[in-house]
Amino acid sequence: MPATKIYKYLRAAWLQMTSSPDLASLYQLLARQQRPILPSGERRAILGCGYVGEAVARAWKQEGHALWATTTRRERLGELSELVDTPLIFDSTDSSTNLDFAADLDGILVSFAPSKSSEVDLTQYRRTFLGGLQRLTETLDRRPHGTPLQLVHLSSCGVYGNRQGAVTSETAPTDFDHPVNQVLVKAEEMIASIRSDRIKVCVLRLGGIYGPGRDIPAMLLSAAGGLVQRNGLNVPCWIHRDDIVRGVCFAFEQGLNDTYNLVNDTQLSGQELTDRLCEKAGLPLAMWMTINTSDRVLNARVSNDKIKQLGFAFTHPCMVG
Ligand SMILES: NC(=O)c1ccc[n+]([C@@H]2O[C@H](COP(=O)([O-])OP(=O)(O)OC[C@H]3O[C@@H](n4cnc5c(N)ncnc54)[C@H](OP(=O)(O)O)[C@@H]3O)[C@@H](O)[C@H]2O)c1
């Protein structure tokens, strides 16, 4: 990268620092600057280029990286070709597709998840997550030794299960009772087992994703004045897609090699959150159940302190306001 571009990028951030400059504040300011395009980017792949993957692809394209991205559907190859250099078909449940291209890259985002359906199909969860990670592990075993690689895996704060609303950091025990959580925790273990002195593995545990086209606040508001058939006392957690993209870029920039919760600051129960949204919109409050109506529950005040302490700043820290 030309030295003048780096100088301008750092100087613009430094000039905004008003008092007692320190490294964490500098990182936060740099995160808000538009990043300079790299003349010689890295070779990076997005495995499962869906809602989040596409947004990451746009950011990485802007940074100047050569990009690969996968979909299970042939009809999406055209749209992905607008975003990445090499769109490919990969389906972890289909042995005729493979990840051979991934054996020689600088960075990989693992963001595949079973396609949406109203019912959670446990077999499909196992085949998608565990089958996919098994295929990735085998591919990376064939990787030339000594070449550095950054992996980022998108997991879920759902793994904490029902902690009765307790404040929950990354060291809290994960839930082994629910079979979906068992799969997600096993997936985290599989990706962590790839870690080596040359391969860094960052696991980002996400909250429920919202953003353009996934308007969770509007969905919650639509309950105004009605009855929500869920336990309003449970505390879920949330993350805006923009902050996931920034979190993934941050993980790459910082070379993160650990597990981090990536959730915003909203630590409200479902009912409290909806009440605030309704009050702000001048709408009648919704009624909620006070008993669990689903067997898979997240009820935890998930802390984002660990990633914040590294200097990460959220652009959407709260869902209300
Ligand atoms: N949604 C949430 O609220 C939430 C919460 C916590 C964590 N997460 C995690 O965040 C990540 C990104 O979520 P997202 O909302 O971007 O997901 P998404 O939009 O559903 O995209 C999932 C991607 O995975 C691909 N895929 C589906 N089945 C596959 C298979 N068998 N083999 C390989 N690829 C497969 C899909 O292919 P197609 O392109 O063919 O659709 C798609 O590209 C996922 O890992 C998810 O588990 C999500």
What is the best residue among 47, 74, 115, 135 to mutate for testing ligand 1's pocket, by most ligand atoms within 8 Å of CB? 115
Q: Which of 92, 97, 112 to mutate to test the pocket of ligand 1 (most atoms within 8 A of CB)?
A: 112
Ligand 1: does its nearest atom lie under 6 Å from the Cβ of 112? yes
Ligand 1 center to residue 103 CA distance, Å? 21
Sign of the dihedral defined by the CA atoms of residues 53, 277, 318, 234, in that order: negative
Report the phi/psi class of residue 300: left, alpha or beta, with left for phi > 0 and alpha for psi in -120 to 50.
Answer: beta
H-helix or E-strand spanning residue 14: helix 3-16
> How many whole angstroms separate alpha carbon 38 and alpha carbon 249?
14
**Contact status, residue 172 vs residue 157, Cβ threshold 8 Å:** no
Cα separation of 235 and 156, whole Å?
Answer: 15
Residue 3 has pLDDT above 90, yes or no: no
Instruction: Report the alpha-carbon distance of residue 238 to residue 264 in Å, rounded.
Output: 6
The number of the ligand 1 atom at minimal distance from the alpha carbon of 127 is 31
Which DSSP helix (H) or strand (E) runs through 59? helix 51-63
CA of 111 to the centre of ligand 1 (A): 6
3-class SS at 191?
Answer: helix
- The answer to whether residue 320 scores a pLDDT higher than 90 is no
* pLDDT 10s digits, 36-60: 545 569 999 999 999 999 999 999 9
Number of Cα atoms under 13 Å in the Cβ half of residue 274: 26
Distance 133 CA to ligand 1 centre (A): 13
Q: What is the pLDDT of residues 192-201, one digit of tens each?
A: 999 999 999 9
Contact between 44 and 107 under an 8 Å Cβ cutoff? The reply is yes
Residues 15 and 33 sit within 8 Å (Cβ to Cβ): no
Element (H, E) at 70: strand 66-71
Q: Could you give phi then psi for residue 311, rounded to 5 degrees?
A: 105, 5
Query: Rounded CA gap, 305 and 314, in Å?
Result: 12
Cα 221 from Cα 210, distance rounded (Å): 14
Integer Cα distance of 82 and 80 in angstroms: 5
Ramachandran category for residue 204: left, alpha or beta (phi over 0 → left; psi -120 to 50 → alpha): beta
* pTM assigned to the model: 0.90
Q: Cα Rg for the chain, rounded, in angstroms?
A: 20
Closest atom, ligand 1, to C-alpha of 70:
43
Mean of per-residue pLDDT scores for the chain: 91
Query: What are the pLDDT digits (tens) for 102-135?
Result: 999 999 999 999 987 657 789 999 999 999 999 9
Separation between Cα atoms, residue 55 and residue 226, nearest integer Å: 34
**6-30 average pLDDT score:** 59
pLDDT in tens, 76-103: 999 999 999 999 999 999 999 999 999 9
Closest CA to 168 of 306, 309, 300, 310: 300
Q: Give distance in angstroms: CA of 140 to centre of ligand 1.
A: 21
C-alpha 105/C-alpha 123 separation (Å) is: 30
Could you give the domains of the chain? 3-211+240-265+301-309 (3.40.50.720)
For residue 68, the CA-to-ligand 1 centroid distance in Å is 16
- C-alpha 5/C-alpha 35 separation (Å) is 10
Averaged over 262-269, what is the pLDDT?
97
Residue environment code for 216-252, b if the CB has 16+ CB neighbours within 10 A, otherwise e = bbeebbebbeeebebbbbbbbbbbbbebbbbbbbbbb
- Residue 7 reports pLDDT greater than 60: no
